[in-house]
Amino acid sequence: MDPLVITAHTLTSAAGTGIAANTEALKHGTSGLRPSDLDAVTLETYIGRVPGVEAITLEGRLAPFQCRNNQLAELGLRQDGFAEAVTAAAQRHGPDRVAVLLGTSTSGIAATEAAYHRRDPQTGVLPPYYDYQHTQNMFSLADFVATRFGLSGPAMVISTACSSSAKVFADAQRFIAAGLCDAAVVGGVDSLCGMTLYGFNALQLVAAQPCNPLDRDRNGISIGEAAGYFLLERATADIPGPRLIGHGESSDAHHMSAPHPEGLGAATAMQQALGRAGCHGEAVDYVLMHATATPANDRSEARALTHSLGTGCRAVGSKGLTGHTLGAAGAVGVAQALASLAGGFIPPTAGLQTLDPELDLDARADVEQRPVQRVLVNAFGFGGNNCSLLLEAAP
Amino acid sequence: MNPIGLYAVGLLGPGLEDFESARPVLAGEAPLTSRDVQIPPPGLLPANERRRTTATIRLALKVAEEATEGADRSQLRSVFASSSGDMDIIDRICDALTHPEPVVSPVQFHNSVHNAPAGNWSIATRNPAPATALSGYTASLATGLLEAATLQLTEGGEVLLACYDVPSMETFAHVRPIHHPFAVALRLGPPEGAPWRLQLAFGGDVPADRCRVDELEALRDSNPAARALPLLEQLARGTPGHVTLQAPLGRSLSIQIEP
């Protein structure tokens, strides 16, 4: 495939607001997880909560979008000069030539949860201030970002659970290849809410302690929130910046909430990403795994890695830093991969004490300083929905 | 964009049981006599999985099955487009969360994801091809069609588009008035040998076309998936034509149709 260049990006997560803070946390394995202190949640668990989200007020034409997810979306847009880069791209290409392709799993559902507490006791009617279209509806996030920048290219929200914000990269590549746009704002935003915390808890997938991916004693996820954005354009020799050189997507066709035991779909996605880039497994410095820290997920993904890239494959799990940010997980993974490509290091697996020997992977608790040329990033979701992205350092 | 082929259509809506039987109504040759919508159980799913399905999943799978009748279901890519997803589950879970010790059903939770129909479709058809799920609010049909057409043009092969929305629960009725289920599916592929050729153009801000038949026009705004009706009317007429759909952000998607 024709590669895309990432001309701007940013990440806000529990591990940090902006790229510099996230890179420091990534390099040193510094976790942003803390005991749950959400008002609406009484579960004993750790969460990856982003500080400062509640302080964001959306004003003017953006006021109807006010909800935790769009507050986090706005906080993220304000970091690393990303908003300025989008504005410049809109001037360069025209606002109708910039697509907005974003991922989320639950959009602004926290607004609906809050509104349900304030239903009319007699009629059950939701309070008059509740704005479904601009908060809870899935499209709200793309609508918000497009409205903020006055963009009018193709726009959509992809919502395939935890692969959402990885799949948008593949879409951007196809949309640009088809001539529908010249640039795309992609990424994902997902925010903490009662539905996911109680839902994953009902599935018995939530850990009481901070999650520890790839560890022998791992026993579930910690849920987090994040906003990550990327500006993608056609890669020409004169534009510097890291490249998206491959993407792969697949379905497990196995089960709604459990991964394929042999990681069949995951392996297909990774092989496709490598194939599109014309790369062999040896060209990949390491795999930034989806590694949610449930026993079954990490086992299944490890088998997929072994199958696609051989045993003892160099692998990193990063959800000990941020928690599992669900629909934003792909965006978080890509931003972390870019930090490692730019900084010349293979990140540690945060929270790792004893590597699970059954996984047959080379995962480490310490950072390794060394040039990194290519990273494969995985994001897998409910419904057996898999996506794998291959990123390459700036030429 | 380059032309793509349209091979088959699936349909379910008030008085519209499937595309073939609805053709006379869509062509303006017969009146819309009924307002009933019966969503049949998904025949392709194993019994165990079928029991766990929701109205949203059954609605999407009904039109997906119809549009892929006789086709190889084990290979084609799929795009599932819905404005609001499973409003019923969202209502139940948000209600459960108002209780002092909230109990969320695990099955409801895994079915709450926007890609629940996509996941069930891949399981039902044992299809390992990529599946996606998206929203473009009331313009979800045009959004899904643009996505599916782009997939066909860039990746080749056949692509299934299913677009659907279930009615809003009572709590949502005034903030999101959708009063009946509606779903449509299109099976797209290469233009050579297809019963219809579609040529899409994204851009401009031309208003969306209305239905020619008044009874259908009354349905068009009642469900985001029913925005397909002007396109379905044109297909049923069997003549060349042109239809404009509303795309997100005030843009439009125009479709040139050649039988």
Residue range B101-121, pLDDT digits in tens: 999 999 999 999 999 999 999
pLDDT along chain A (395 residues), means of 10: 97 98 98 94 96 98 98 98 98 98 98 96 93 98 98 98 98 98 98 97 96 98 98 95 98 93 96 97 97 98 96 96 98 98 98 97 98 98 97 96
In A100-253, alpha helices (H): 109-117, 140-149, 164-177, 194-202
Domain residues for the domain of B100 are: 4-192
Q: Is residue B135 part of a domain?
A: yes
Largest CA distance in chain B: 60
pLDDT, one tens digit per residue, over A38-51 is: 988 899 999 999 99
Residue A120: list chain B partners with CB under 8 A. none
- Whichever domain contains B158, its CATH number is 3.40.47.10
Kindly report whether the global pTM for this prediction surpasses the value 0.95.
yes
pLDDT at B244: 98
Q: Is residue B213 part of a domain?
A: no
What mean pLDDT do residues B65-86 have?
Answer: 97
Mutate to test the interface with B, among A156, A186, A200 (most CBs of B within 10 A): A156
Is residue B18 pLDDT above 90, yes or no?
yes
If you measure CA to CA, which chain B residue comes closest to A110?
B94
| Cβ neighbours for A55, distance < 8 A, ≥ 6 positions apart | none
Q: Are A318 and A365 in contact (CB under 8 A)?
A: no
How does residue B73 score in pLDDT terms, banded at 50, 70 and 90?
very high
CA nearest neighbour of A178 among B205, B152, B242, B252: B152
Q: Is residue B146 part of a domain?
A: yes
- What would the two tokens of residue B66 be? 């119809």
pLDDT at B35: 85
Residue B245: list chain A partners with CB under 8 A. none
Question: How big is the A-B interface in CB pairs under 8 Å?
Answer: 211
pLDDT at A376: 98
Residues within 8 A of A (CB atoms), B 228-257 only: 247-251
Single-letter code of the amino acid located at A3: P
pLDDT at B50: 87
If you measure CA to CA, which chain B residue comes closest to A156?
B136
How does residue B48 score in pLDDT terms, banded at 50, 70 and 90?
confident
Superfamily designation of domain A4-392: Thiolase/Chalcone synthase (3.40.47.10)
Domains identified in chain B, total number: 1
pLDDT, one tens digit per residue, over A46-105 is: 999 999 999 999 999 999 999 999 999 999 999 999 999 999 999 999 999 999 999 999
- What would the two tokens of residue A375 be? 């990273």
pLDDT at B129: 98
In A18-125, alpha helices (H): 19-28, 68-77, 82-93, 109-117
What mean pLDDT do residues B187-215 have?
Answer: 96
In A227-328, alpha helices (H): 264-277, 295-309, 319-322
How does residue B52 score in pLDDT terms, banded at 50, 70 and 90?
confident
CA nearest neighbour of A359 among A313, A321, A318, A309: A313
Residues within 8 A of A (CB atoms), B 170-209 only: 170-172, 174-176, 202-203
How far is Cα A321 from Cα A102, in angstroms, rounded to an integer?
23
Helix A68-77 / helix A109-117 crossing angle, nearest 10 deg = 150
CA distance B47 to chain A (A): 14
CA distance A366 to chain B (A): 36
DSSP class per residue in chain B: ---EEEEEEEEEBTTB--HHHHHHHHTTSS------------TTS-HHHHHT--HHHHHHHHHHHHHTTTS-TTT-EEEEE-SS--HHHHHHHHHHTTSSS----HHHHHHTSTTHHHHHHHHHHT--S-EEEEEBTBTHHHHHHHHHHHHHHHH-S-EEEEEEEPPPPGGGTTTS---S-EEEEEEEE-STT-SEEEEEEE-S-PPPPPPSSHHHHHHHTTSGGGGGHHHHHHHHHTS-EEEEEE-GGG-EEEEEEE-
- The distance of Cα A197 from the centroid of its chain, to the nearest Å, equals 17
Contact check, Cβ <8 Å, B119/A384 = yes
